[in-house]
Amino acid sequence: MIKRKIVFLTGTRADFGKIKSLIQALESHDDFEPFVFVTGMHLLETYGYTLIEIERCNFSNIHTFSNHTCETTMDLTLAKTIEGFSEYVKTVSPDLIVVHGDRVEALAGAIVGSLNNTLVAHIEGGEVSGTVDELIRHSVSKMSHIHYVSNDLAKQRLLQMGEIEASVKVIGSPDVDIMFSDTLPTIDTVKQYYEIAFDNYAVAMFHPVTTEYDSMEIYAKNFVDALITSNKNFVVVYPNNDLGSEKILHQYKAFENNPRFRLFPSIRFEYFLTLLKQAQFIIGNSSAGIREAPYYGIPTINIGTRQENRSIQSDIINVDYSQKSIQHALERKVNKKPSNDFPEFGSGRSSELFLKSLNDSATWMINKQKQFVDYVSN
């Protein structure tokens, strides 16, 4: 029997955490042959060269491609990724391309697939954020044929966008599979590995918002100054490499030689989950504060607009970019809550549901010639 070839595209540590369990589900399956196209932040020394983490998974087929240019603009990154991925796809001839989320690498993958008459599956479409990321996410969805979404609300949005209902499959957020795995490292193992001496700490992650580039320097300074003033301990993870990241990294120099801060370009996904699970709270504008933290009962201080419209849990503290607002939030007494199930992001069965879908012959019959379906509200 000929195996179906499935190409997964990953450009960041974040999207790899989302698709890792899906790749693992196919690695040991007789009917599928997974391929992993690695690009973007994974190949940057500044951000931890996270290709190493992918290689540690011992996947059968890993291909690397550097999509970086001398400029930091996302349009040139998109163009170069399209060029490199197009060449790779023509070599592999996959039956399906799988992309995740709202990065330009995902958009490149969807464009290459749809223009080469290859099925494209999009993970976690139909979500909102309010920044340019949302525009990219919706564009990826329109260039994709199959949609694996986190919840029914995301499904409804895709139907509003004219997608065929049979093509939208609710599987939850795939990283939840790993979050509740019994193979996560212990907190002692993580602290020893990363040389973290704190008994009590918070996680800090602050990413650039490309549509607010002109203000990112002052936003980052307010963030850094508020953390330093708080007298709390922080595990700080570098931002992603979107436009404006250099301004954040410049401000992070203020953390150097301060014993209350441990700064990392990247942290292995399973190790990060353990750190998050044991943290007092998470602060910044990472989706980890919106998606993963509530599952662990960890309080979130969400700053600014990056996760706008995604902060749906009542115990998430939303503040603006001012130092005063951030400091006020840090002064509030925040308590951990018992871990709860949040059905909007699944129950840890994403890889199982993903594999079930691929084993369904109807999935492979989805028309590559997309049709727009008018949405009729109930």
Domain boundaries, the chain: 4-179+348-365, 187-331
CB atoms within 10 A of CB 152: 13
Domain 187-331 has CATH 3.40.50.2000: yes
pLDDT greater than 70 at residue 168: yes
pLDDT score at 158: 97
pLDDT greater than 80 at residue 309: no
pLDDT greater than 80 at residue 312: no
pLDDT score at 339: 56
Model confidence at 338, in pLDDT bands (50, 70, 90)? low
* Arithmetic mean of pLDDT, 190-210: 96
pLDDT greater than 80 at residue 222: yes
Please provide the average confidence, as pLDDT, over all residues in the chain: 92
pLDDT score at 288: 92
pTM (global) more than 0.75: yes
Conformational region of residue 199, where left means phi above 0, alpha means psi within -120 to 50, and beta covers everything else: alpha
Model confidence at 314, in pLDDT bands (50, 70, 90)? low
CATH architecture of 4-179+348-365: 3-Layer(aba) Sandwich (3.40)
pLDDT score at 310: 66
CA gap 119, 367 in Å, rounded = 9
Torsion sign (Cα): 135, 287, 223, 261: negative
pLDDT greater than 60 at residue 342: no
H or E stretch at 289 = none
pLDDT greater than 70 at residue 42: yes
User: Do 187-331 and 4-179+348-365 have the same topology in CATH?
Assistant: yes
pLDDT score at 49: 93
pLDDT score at 182: 86
pLDDT score at 129: 78
Beta bridge partner(s), residue 169: 148
